[in-house]
Structure 1
Amino acid sequence: MLCAALVLLCWSALAPADPPSGWTFHPYDEALKLAQQDQRRVFLYFGRYGCPSCEKTNRESFTDPRVVDRYNANYVLAYVDAESGERLRLPGGERITEMALGVRLGVIGTPSFYFLEPDGEPISRSPGFQSAEELLLLDRYVSGDHFRHQTFADFKAAES
């Protein structure tokens, strides 16, 4: 019995985190290449296996057709398993793990969502569960370039 519990615990620690189904998420380094080719911004999602807030976001927010349509139209989508040792190659040639990328960007919990310029420069980040309405508001904030002259909190207050 104890042996079975240990096997299950080890398996769950190694199980990959999955992005939401029905979306075309790419590995981070591949997404940056696509973004630079297409001159489109990147929507980066940090998730992890067993994260209840990630599962809730996937189930409730990423199933909203408005969110799916807007994000697929406006961004190159990237997904990173925040606990992964998978290696990525950054635009400058540096090889790091997905976990190290999270540390570099200041990810302290999952889910965490980042909007990036095509060159990988961060625009905005939103940690924690995001409702469909919040994701739509974030899209308007970023795609409308409002981040250039106001914080998201100010933009959100003005939209209310």
Structure 2
Amino acid sequence: MSKSLCFFLAMAISLLATAQESAGDYVVTRDTPSWFKSSFLDFPEDISEAAAEGKQLMVYFGQDGCPYCKKLHDDNFHQAEIVSLLKEKFDSVAVNMFGDLDAVWIDGEEYIEKTLARRLNIQFTPTLLFLDDEGNEVLRIAGYQSPPRFLSALHYVLSDLTDGVSFADYWRQQAKQDEKVTALPDLAPPFSAPPYNLSSPSKMTAVLVTQSSCSICNEWQNFLSSDKAKQWHEAFAYVRLDLFGRDNTMSGDQTASQWVLDKQVAFVPAIIFLDESGTEQFRVDGYLRDFHLSSVLDYVASGAYRREPEFQRFLQQRSDQLRQQGENVTIW
């Protein structure tokens, strides 16, 4: 066998291995549930067809190899009550965040899947957009949420409250009913004491929103206290707020609860990153494991969010760089 043939064969095997690795255990076009609508991604048409059947439209953005998308499908989309509601009340359409299929959005503008995702500022997968019969976005879920939280979101979208009550307020009332008194662990970062001033003249502010009886909150807090996270501690002024914090006041005697509600925090835990003037630059309020959470901290602390507006592209680049440095990248 010639050297050139060996070289090209090795390259082909390498590319195949890379493709298989990047695809992981989940492929959008293969693993989308069979009850999703077969759509030409002409969304004005999809809206009209859904409305004609008395339904609303759910637009799902996923990507190949996304463990959170797989968890959504394995957990949420196998819950009988969730599946029943989605089949009866919604037309569900899947979009590949990095796909190349033609798409027409609600405004009549033409895109391909990946440019549509960019136009709609899709930062995390899965992201689900719930649209009314006029194409207005009623609710956006950015990232994975557990079946009970997801079901609560569906009930909100199907309620008569969407014009007068924000989902953040609706969900807070649901969460309040199940609240238990659970001590939260102390954290390694030097968290500010109230009253809070959410603008620092020299660094970003990372506002961590938690609540009692929240296992994921404890997960995030344990990560922030770990050696892995300490490299970013100096980049942020840290503030921790409780979702129902009535006593922790902000500047101007605003309670923590009021500030969080004004920010429309729908799920906890959440981290809201504010610049030196107190203006929000980035947030995450979907379930993330350690690698993705560390990538979010790196994305903001390094200033990469200013030059690369798409977090998922930054995430791919960071993963490649870490692998080139010999690190074992475990995304789940």
1:21 corresponds to which letter in structure 2? P
Count of residue pairs the alignment pairs up: 160
**TM-score, scaled to structure 2:** 0.44
Query: In the TM superposition, what whole-angstrom CA distance separates every residue of 1:68-120 from its partner, at most 9, and x where no partner exists?
Result: 00111111111111110100134554321111221222211100011001232
Alignment of 1:10-159 (within 5 A): 10=19, 17-18=28-29, 19-27=31-39, 28-29=41-42, 31-90=46-105, 93-159=108-174
Q: Is this contact kept in 2: 1:44–1:114, CA < 8 A?
A: yes
* Partners of 1:120 and 1:12 in 2: CA distance: 37
Q: Which runs of 5+ in 2 are unaligned?
A: 1-9, 178-332
Q: Secondary structure at the match of 1:155?
A: helix
Q: Spell out, residue by residue over 1:26-48, the C-alpha distance to the aligned partner (whole angstroms, 9 max, x if none).
A: 33325334224334211111111
CA–CA distance in structure 2, aligned partners of residues 21 and 92 of structure 1: 27
> Aligned residue for 1:9?
18
Q: Which amino acid aligns with 1:106?
A: N
SS at structure 2 position matched to 1:44: strand
Residue deviations 1:3-58 (CA, integer Å, cap 9, x gap): 41223324666895235324223333253342243342111111111001000110
In angstroms, what is the RMSD of aligned CA positions?
2.4
Identity %: 24
Structure 1 moving runs of 4+ over 4 Å: 10-16
Q: Which amino acid aligns with 1:126?
A: I
| Most deviating of 19-28 and 102-111 | 19-28
Q: Contact between 1:112 and 1:125, CA under 8 Å: does it hold in 2? A: yes
Query: Which fold has the larger relative contact order, with Cα–Cα distance below 8 Å and residues 6 or more apart in sequence?
Result: 1
- Structure 1's 38 and 53: CA in aligned 2 closer, same or farther, altered over 3 A? same
In 2, Cα distance between the equivalents of 1:20 and 1:143?
A: 23
Q: Secondary structure at the match of 1:62?
A: helix
TM-score (norm 1): 0.86
Contact 1:141/1:152 (CA < 8 Å) preserved in 2?
Answer: yes
- In structure 2, relative to structure 1, the CA distance for the partners of 1:5 and 1:86 (3 Å cut) is same
Output the CA distance in 1 between the equivalents of 2:94 and 2:155. 21
Q: Is the 8 A contact 2:129 2:139 kept in 1?
A: yes
Q: Distance in 2 between matches of 1:33 and 1:111?
A: 24
SS at match of 1:146: coil
